Structure 1
Protein backbone atom coordinates (compact mmCIF):
# COMPACT_ATOMS: atom_id res chain seq x y z
CA UNK A 1 0.00 0.00 0.00
CA UNK A 2 2.92 2.37 0.68
CA UNK A 3 4.12 1.77 -2.88
CA UNK A 4 0.73 2.75 -4.35
CA UNK A 5 0.45 5.73 -2.01
CA UNK A 6 3.95 6.87 -2.97
CA UNK A 7 3.13 6.55 -6.65
CA UNK A 8 -0.05 8.60 -6.32
CA UNK A 9 1.66 11.18 -4.14
CA UNK A 10 4.45 11.83 -6.64
CA UNK A 11 2.37 11.64 -9.81
CA UNK A 12 1.37 15.32 -9.99
CA UNK A 13 3.55 16.88 -7.31
CA UNK A 14 5.56 19.87 -8.65
CA UNK A 15 8.48 18.93 -6.36
CA UNK A 16 8.64 15.45 -7.85
CA UNK A 17 11.98 14.36 -9.21
CA UNK A 18 12.33 11.68 -11.84
CA UNK A 19 14.07 9.43 -9.28
CA UNK A 20 11.12 9.76 -6.88
CA UNK A 21 8.78 8.38 -9.51
CA UNK A 22 11.21 5.57 -10.42
CA UNK A 23 11.57 4.68 -6.74
CA UNK A 24 7.78 4.50 -6.32
CA UNK A 25 7.49 2.27 -9.43
CA UNK A 26 10.27 0.00 -8.14
CA UNK A 27 8.39 -0.36 -4.82
CA UNK A 28 5.12 -1.13 -6.64
CA UNK A 29 6.73 -3.76 -8.89
CA UNK A 30 8.45 -5.35 -5.87
CA UNK A 31 5.12 -5.49 -4.03
CA UNK A 32 3.38 -7.12 -7.01
CA UNK A 33 6.19 -9.66 -7.35
CA UNK A 34 5.92 -10.53 -3.64
CA UNK A 35 2.14 -10.94 -3.88
CA UNK A 36 2.05 -12.87 -7.17
CA UNK A 37 5.40 -14.52 -7.94
CA UNK A 38 6.43 -15.58 -4.41
CA UNK A 39 3.23 -17.62 -3.77
CA UNK A 40 3.47 -19.12 -7.28
CA UNK A 41 7.06 -20.25 -6.70
CA UNK A 42 6.10 -21.57 -3.25
CA UNK A 43 3.24 -23.56 -4.81
CA UNK A 44 5.47 -24.99 -7.54
CA UNK A 45 8.26 -25.94 -5.12
CA UNK A 46 5.78 -27.41 -2.62
CA UNK A 47 4.05 -29.41 -5.38
CA UNK A 48 7.35 -30.76 -6.70
CA UNK A 49 8.49 -31.65 -3.17
CA UNK A 50 5.14 -33.36 -2.50
CA UNK A 51 5.44 -35.53 -5.63
CA UNK A 52 9.04 -36.48 -4.83
CA UNK A 53 8.36 -37.22 -1.17
CA UNK A 54 5.19 -39.22 -1.84
CA UNK A 55 7.09 -41.29 -4.43
CA UNK A 56 9.77 -41.89 -1.77
CA UNK A 57 7.04 -42.90 0.73
CA UNK A 58 5.66 -45.47 -1.75
CA UNK A 59 9.13 -46.84 -2.52
CA UNK A 60 10.04 -47.12 1.16
CA UNK A 61 6.77 -48.91 1.97
CA UNK A 62 7.43 -51.36 -0.88
CA UNK A 63 11.04 -52.00 0.18
CA UNK A 64 10.62 -52.09 3.97
CA UNK A 65 8.71 -54.71 5.91
CA UNK A 66 7.35 -54.86 9.43
CA UNK A 67 8.41 -58.11 11.13
CA UNK A 68 8.06 -59.42 14.67
CA UNK A 69 11.24 -59.92 16.70
CA UNK A 70 11.58 -61.96 19.90
CA UNK A 71 13.66 -60.77 22.86
CA UNK A 72 16.41 -63.20 23.85
CA UNK A 73 17.86 -61.05 26.64
CA UNK A 74 18.21 -57.44 27.71
CA UNK A 75 21.51 -55.71 26.95
CA UNK A 76 23.27 -52.97 28.90
CA UNK A 77 22.37 -49.36 28.16
CA UNK A 78 24.43 -47.72 25.45
CA UNK A 79 27.08 -45.30 26.85
CA UNK A 80 25.15 -42.23 25.67
CA UNK A 81 22.17 -43.20 27.84
CA UNK A 82 24.05 -43.49 31.17
CA UNK A 83 23.13 -40.01 32.41
CA UNK A 84 20.12 -40.42 34.77
CA UNK A 85 19.38 -36.68 34.50
CA UNK A 86 18.40 -36.91 30.84
CA UNK A 87 14.82 -37.88 30.30
CA UNK A 88 13.46 -38.42 26.82
CA UNK A 89 11.53 -40.80 24.64
CA UNK A 90 14.60 -43.07 24.69
CA UNK A 91 13.77 -43.90 28.32
CA UNK A 92 10.80 -45.94 27.05
CA UNK A 93 13.04 -48.00 24.72
CA UNK A 94 15.42 -50.77 25.71
CA UNK A 95 18.43 -52.31 24.02
CA UNK A 96 17.99 -56.06 23.64
CA UNK A 97 19.42 -59.06 21.85
CA UNK A 98 16.62 -60.26 19.57
CA UNK A 99 15.97 -62.73 16.81
CA UNK A 100 13.61 -62.56 13.84
CA UNK A 101 12.95 -64.05 10.46
CA UNK A 102 13.33 -61.77 7.45
CA UNK A 103 10.77 -61.53 4.63
CA UNK A 104 13.04 -63.78 2.53
CA UNK A 105 13.03 -66.47 5.26
CA UNK A 106 16.54 -65.74 6.57
CA UNK A 107 17.15 -65.93 10.34
CA UNK A 108 18.72 -62.95 12.15
CA UNK A 109 20.04 -62.46 15.67
CA UNK A 110 21.47 -59.10 16.75
CA UNK A 111 21.11 -56.11 19.06
CA UNK A 112 18.01 -54.03 18.54
CA UNK A 113 16.10 -51.21 20.20
CA UNK A 114 12.79 -52.48 21.55
CA UNK A 115 9.86 -50.24 22.41
CA UNK A 116 9.45 -52.06 25.73
CA UNK A 117 9.90 -50.53 29.17
CA UNK A 118 11.07 -53.71 30.87
CA UNK A 119 11.78 -56.40 28.26
CA UNK A 120 11.95 -60.04 29.28
CA UNK A 121 13.09 -63.07 27.31
CA UNK A 122 10.30 -64.17 25.00
CA UNK A 123 8.68 -60.72 24.67
CA UNK A 124 7.83 -59.75 21.13
CA UNK A 125 8.08 -56.37 19.38
CA UNK A 126 7.92 -55.05 15.84
CA UNK A 127 10.89 -53.86 13.79
CA UNK A 128 11.33 -52.65 10.22
CA UNK A 129 13.62 -54.60 7.89
CA UNK A 130 14.55 -54.65 4.23
CA UNK A 131 13.79 -57.64 1.98
CA UNK A 132 16.85 -59.50 3.29
CA UNK A 133 15.80 -59.01 6.93
CA UNK A 134 18.39 -56.33 7.79
CA UNK A 135 17.10 -53.66 10.20
CA UNK A 136 16.24 -50.33 8.60
CA UNK A 137 14.66 -47.08 9.74
CA UNK A 138 10.90 -46.77 9.86
CA UNK A 139 9.57 -45.64 6.45
CA UNK A 140 8.47 -42.05 6.02
CA UNK A 141 4.74 -41.72 6.41
CA UNK A 142 2.47 -39.79 4.04
CA UNK A 143 1.45 -37.09 6.55
CA UNK A 144 5.08 -36.32 7.44
CA UNK A 145 5.94 -36.11 3.73
CA UNK A 146 3.10 -33.63 3.19
CA UNK A 147 4.30 -31.53 6.14
CA UNK A 148 7.84 -31.43 4.68
CA UNK A 149 6.43 -30.42 1.28
CA UNK A 150 4.36 -27.60 2.80
CA UNK A 151 7.39 -26.33 4.71
CA UNK A 152 9.46 -26.43 1.51
CA UNK A 153 6.80 -24.42 -0.33
CA UNK A 154 6.50 -21.83 2.44
CA UNK A 155 10.29 -21.56 2.64
CA UNK A 156 10.58 -21.06 -1.13
CA UNK A 157 7.89 -18.35 -1.08
CA UNK A 158 9.58 -16.51 1.82
CA UNK A 159 12.98 -16.82 0.15
CA UNK A 160 11.57 -15.39 -3.09
CA UNK A 161 9.97 -12.48 -1.23
CA UNK A 162 13.27 -11.87 0.59
CA UNK A 163 15.23 -11.84 -2.68
CA UNK A 164 12.75 -9.38 -4.23
CA UNK A 165 12.96 -7.10 -1.19
CA UNK A 166 16.78 -7.24 -1.22
CA UNK A 167 16.79 -6.37 -4.93
CA UNK A 168 14.42 -3.44 -4.27
CA UNK A 169 16.61 -2.14 -1.46
CA UNK A 170 19.74 -2.47 -3.60
CA UNK A 171 18.14 -0.52 -6.47
CA UNK A 172 16.93 2.24 -4.12
CA UNK A 173 20.35 2.39 -2.40
CA UNK A 174 22.08 2.88 -5.77
CA UNK A 175 19.56 5.56 -6.76
CA UNK A 176 20.14 7.42 -3.48
CA UNK A 177 23.92 7.24 -3.97
CA UNK A 178 23.57 8.69 -7.48
CA UNK A 179 21.31 11.44 -6.12
CA UNK A 180 23.89 12.35 -3.46
CA UNK A 181 26.66 12.32 -6.06
CA UNK A 182 24.65 14.77 -8.22
CA UNK A 183 24.09 17.00 -5.20
CA UNK A 184 27.83 16.97 -4.44
CA UNK A 185 28.61 17.99 -8.04
CA UNK A 186 26.02 20.79 -7.84
CA UNK A 187 27.55 22.09 -4.61
CA UNK A 188 31.02 22.02 -6.14
CA UNK A 189 29.78 24.02 -9.13
CA UNK A 190 28.15 26.60 -6.85
CA UNK A 191 31.56 27.25 -5.31
CA UNK A 192 32.62 28.04 -1.73
CA UNK A 193 31.12 31.57 -1.83
CA UNK A 194 27.56 30.42 -2.54
CA UNK A 195 25.07 32.40 -0.52
CA UNK A 196 27.42 35.21 0.56
CA UNK A 197 26.42 38.84 0.03
CA UNK A 198 27.92 40.31 -3.11
CA UNK A 199 28.89 36.96 -4.67
CA UNK A 200 29.05 37.20 -8.43
CA UNK A 201 28.89 41.02 -8.49
Structure 2
Protein backbone atom coordinates (compact mmCIF):
# COMPACT_ATOMS: atom_id res chain seq x y z
CA UNK A 1 0.00 0.00 0.00
CA UNK A 2 2.95 2.22 -0.60
CA UNK A 3 1.23 4.14 -3.38
CA UNK A 4 -2.12 4.51 -1.61
CA UNK A 5 -3.20 8.08 -0.94
CA UNK A 6 -4.41 9.07 2.49
CA UNK A 7 -8.13 9.54 2.89
CA UNK A 8 -7.61 12.94 4.47
CA UNK A 9 -6.46 15.67 2.13
CA UNK A 10 -4.98 18.83 3.57
CA UNK A 11 -6.53 22.02 2.25
CA UNK A 12 -9.45 20.23 0.64
CA UNK A 13 -11.68 23.22 1.24
CA UNK A 14 -9.45 25.36 -0.99
CA UNK A 15 -9.27 22.93 -3.94
CA UNK A 16 -11.80 22.60 -6.71
CA UNK A 17 -14.12 19.78 -5.84
CA UNK A 18 -17.65 18.97 -7.04
CA UNK A 19 -18.67 18.26 -3.42
CA UNK A 20 -17.24 21.50 -2.05
CA UNK A 21 -19.93 23.85 -0.80
CA UNK A 22 -19.80 27.59 -0.39
CA UNK A 23 -19.97 27.02 3.39
CA UNK A 24 -16.76 24.96 3.19
CA UNK A 25 -14.89 27.85 1.59
CA UNK A 26 -16.33 30.26 4.15
CA UNK A 27 -15.26 27.91 6.96
CA UNK A 28 -11.74 27.70 5.54
CA UNK A 29 -11.43 31.48 5.49
CA UNK A 30 -12.89 31.65 8.97
CA UNK A 31 -10.34 29.18 10.33
CA UNK A 32 -7.54 31.10 8.67
CA UNK A 33 -8.74 34.35 10.23
CA UNK A 34 -9.06 32.74 13.67
CA UNK A 35 -5.47 31.48 13.53
CA UNK A 36 -4.21 34.86 12.31
CA UNK A 37 -6.11 36.59 15.11
CA UNK A 38 -4.62 34.16 17.61
CA UNK A 39 -1.07 34.43 16.29
CA UNK A 40 -0.70 38.02 15.19
CA UNK A 41 -3.48 39.67 17.19
CA UNK A 42 -2.66 37.76 20.37
CA UNK A 43 1.02 38.61 20.09
CA UNK A 44 0.23 42.27 19.43
CA UNK A 45 -2.23 42.46 22.33
CA UNK A 46 0.24 40.74 24.65
CA UNK A 47 3.10 43.06 23.71
CA UNK A 48 0.98 46.20 24.00
CA UNK A 49 -0.41 45.13 27.37
CA UNK A 50 3.06 44.27 28.66
CA UNK A 51 4.40 47.62 27.46
CA UNK A 52 1.55 49.56 29.10
CA UNK A 53 1.98 47.63 32.36
CA UNK A 54 5.74 48.22 32.35
CA UNK A 55 5.20 51.96 31.84
CA UNK A 56 2.66 52.00 34.67
CA UNK A 57 5.07 50.24 37.04
CA UNK A 58 7.86 52.63 36.00
CA UNK A 59 5.67 55.64 36.83
CA UNK A 60 4.83 54.01 40.15
CA UNK A 61 8.52 53.55 40.99
CA UNK A 62 9.31 57.12 39.91
CA UNK A 63 6.46 58.52 42.02
CA UNK A 64 7.54 56.83 45.27
CA UNK A 65 10.65 57.58 47.26
CA UNK A 66 12.09 56.27 50.52
CA UNK A 67 12.65 58.50 53.52
CA UNK A 68 13.94 57.83 57.02
CA UNK A 69 11.56 58.09 59.97
CA UNK A 70 11.57 57.34 63.69
CA UNK A 71 9.19 54.84 65.29
CA UNK A 72 6.91 56.41 67.88
CA UNK A 73 5.76 53.04 69.32
CA UNK A 74 7.50 49.67 69.45
CA UNK A 75 6.40 47.06 66.98
CA UNK A 76 5.94 43.42 67.85
CA UNK A 77 7.05 40.59 65.63
CA UNK A 78 4.27 38.91 63.68
CA UNK A 79 2.71 35.79 65.15
CA UNK A 80 4.32 32.43 64.36
CA UNK A 81 1.43 31.60 62.02
CA UNK A 82 2.03 34.79 60.09
CA UNK A 83 5.79 34.49 59.61
CA UNK A 84 7.09 34.95 56.12
CA UNK A 85 8.06 37.63 53.65
CA UNK A 86 4.46 38.81 53.20
CA UNK A 87 3.83 39.23 56.93
CA UNK A 88 7.05 40.76 58.24
CA UNK A 89 5.64 44.32 58.10
CA UNK A 90 3.19 45.93 60.52
CA UNK A 91 1.39 49.26 60.53
CA UNK A 92 2.95 51.59 63.12
CA UNK A 93 3.05 55.27 64.04
CA UNK A 94 6.14 57.03 62.71
CA UNK A 95 7.52 60.58 62.76
CA UNK A 96 9.57 62.16 60.00
CA UNK A 97 10.93 65.54 59.04
CA UNK A 98 10.43 67.01 55.57
CA UNK A 99 13.22 68.86 53.75
CA UNK A 100 11.67 72.21 54.77
CA UNK A 101 12.13 71.23 58.45
CA UNK A 102 8.52 70.56 59.44
CA UNK A 103 7.78 67.45 61.50
CA UNK A 104 4.98 65.04 60.56
CA UNK A 105 3.42 61.99 62.20
CA UNK A 106 1.49 59.20 60.50
CA UNK A 107 0.95 55.46 60.24
CA UNK A 108 3.04 53.48 57.80
CA UNK A 109 4.09 49.91 57.10
CA UNK A 110 7.41 49.14 58.78
CA UNK A 111 9.37 45.98 59.51
CA UNK A 112 8.15 44.23 62.63
CA UNK A 113 10.30 43.79 65.74
CA UNK A 114 11.70 47.34 66.22
CA UNK A 115 11.67 49.36 69.43
CA UNK A 116 10.35 52.90 69.84
CA UNK A 117 12.94 55.42 68.65
CA UNK A 118 14.35 53.09 65.99
CA UNK A 119 15.21 54.50 62.60
CA UNK A 120 13.00 52.93 59.86
CA UNK A 121 12.47 53.45 56.16
CA UNK A 122 9.04 54.55 54.94
CA UNK A 123 7.77 55.34 51.47
CA UNK A 124 6.04 58.51 50.27
CA UNK A 125 4.46 59.66 47.03
CA UNK A 126 5.54 62.82 45.25
CA UNK A 127 2.46 64.52 46.78
CA UNK A 128 3.71 63.73 50.31
CA UNK A 129 1.30 60.90 51.19
CA UNK A 130 2.48 57.76 52.97
CA UNK A 131 2.33 54.67 50.81
CA UNK A 132 3.81 51.20 50.43
CA UNK A 133 7.11 50.36 48.78
CA UNK A 134 6.99 50.07 45.00
CA UNK A 135 7.14 46.53 43.60
CA UNK A 136 10.60 45.10 43.11
CA UNK A 137 12.07 44.69 39.63
CA UNK A 138 11.50 40.93 39.75
CA UNK A 139 7.88 41.31 40.85
CA UNK A 140 7.35 43.92 38.14
CA UNK A 141 8.83 41.65 35.46
CA UNK A 142 6.65 38.74 36.58
CA UNK A 143 3.51 40.90 36.63
CA UNK A 144 4.29 42.39 33.21
CA UNK A 145 4.87 38.92 31.75
CA UNK A 146 1.68 37.50 33.24
CA UNK A 147 -0.40 40.46 32.07
CA UNK A 148 1.02 40.17 28.55
CA UNK A 149 0.39 36.43 28.35
CA UNK A 150 -3.07 36.91 29.84
CA UNK A 151 -3.98 39.53 27.23
CA UNK A 152 -2.70 37.32 24.41
CA UNK A 153 -4.67 34.33 25.68
CA UNK A 154 -7.79 36.43 26.24
CA UNK A 155 -7.75 37.73 22.67
CA UNK A 156 -6.96 34.25 21.34
CA UNK A 157 -9.75 32.75 23.43
CA UNK A 158 -12.17 35.35 22.15
CA UNK A 159 -11.14 34.55 18.57
CA UNK A 160 -11.59 30.82 19.17
CA UNK A 161 -14.98 31.42 20.77
CA UNK A 162 -16.17 33.52 17.83
CA UNK A 163 -14.78 30.94 15.40
CA UNK A 164 -16.40 28.09 17.31
CA UNK A 165 -19.74 29.87 17.31
CA UNK A 166 -19.48 30.53 13.56
CA UNK A 167 -18.63 26.88 12.88
CA UNK A 168 -21.59 25.79 15.05
CA UNK A 169 -23.85 28.11 13.04
CA UNK A 170 -22.46 26.73 9.75
CA UNK A 171 -23.02 23.15 10.94
CA UNK A 172 -26.62 23.90 11.88
CA UNK A 173 -27.11 25.48 8.49
CA UNK A 174 -25.61 22.43 6.76
CA UNK A 175 -27.74 20.02 8.80
CA UNK A 176 -30.85 22.05 8.01
CA UNK A 177 -30.04 21.99 4.31
CA UNK A 178 -29.36 18.24 4.47
CA UNK A 179 -32.68 17.66 6.25
CA UNK A 180 -34.58 19.65 3.62
CA UNK A 181 -32.85 17.74 0.80
CA UNK A 182 -33.58 14.41 2.46
CA UNK A 183 -37.25 15.34 2.89
CA UNK A 184 -37.37 16.17 -0.80
CA UNK A 185 -35.41 13.16 -2.12
CA UNK A 186 -35.99 10.57 0.58
CA UNK A 187 -39.46 9.48 -0.58
CA UNK A 188 -38.01 8.61 -4.02
CA UNK A 189 -35.68 6.09 -2.37
CA UNK A 190 -38.18 4.83 0.14
CA UNK A 191 -39.97 2.21 -1.96
CA UNK A 192 -40.87 -0.95 -0.09
CA UNK A 193 -39.88 -4.43 -1.08
CA UNK A 194 -41.92 -7.42 -0.14
- Corresponding residue for 1:157? 152
Where structure 1 has 5 or more consecutive residues not aligned to the other structure, the ranges are none
- Corresponding residue for 1:197? 192
8 Å CA contact retained: 1:70, 1:124: yes
Aligned Cα root-mean-square deviation (Å): 3.3
- Corresponding residue for 1:184? 179
Displacement of 1:120 in angstroms is 2.3
Where structure 2 has 5 or more consecutive residues not aligned to the other structure, the ranges are 1-8
1-structure distance, mates of 2:51, 2:90: 39
- Corresponding residue for 1:74? 74
Q: 1:55 aligns with which of 56, 59, 64?
A: 59
SS in 1 for 2:51: helix
1:99 and 2:95 correspond: yes
- Corresponding residue for 1:30? 34
- Which stretch shows the higher mean deviation, 41-50 or 189-198? 189-198
2-structure distance, mates of 1:32, 1:104: 59
SS in 2 for 1:99: strand
- Corresponding residue for 1:148? 143
1-structure distance, mates of 2:91, 2:175: 70
1-structure distance, mates of 2:177, 2:127: 76
1:46 and 2:50 correspond: yes
1:115 and 2:107 correspond: no
Q: Normalised by the size of structure 1, how large is the TM-score?
A: 0.70
Could you report, residue by residue, the CA deviation over 1:20-65 in whole angstroms, capped at 9, with x for unpaired residues? 333233222322332222212322332233334423432x14xxx4
Q: Normalised by the size of structure 2, how large is the TM-score?
A: 0.72
1-structure distance, mates of 2:173, 2:33: 21
Could you report, residue by residue, the CA deviation over 1:112-170 in whole angstroms, capped at 9, with x for unpaired residues? 443142x2233211112346765222235555444433333222211111121112111
2-structure distance, mates of 1:131, 1:184: 71
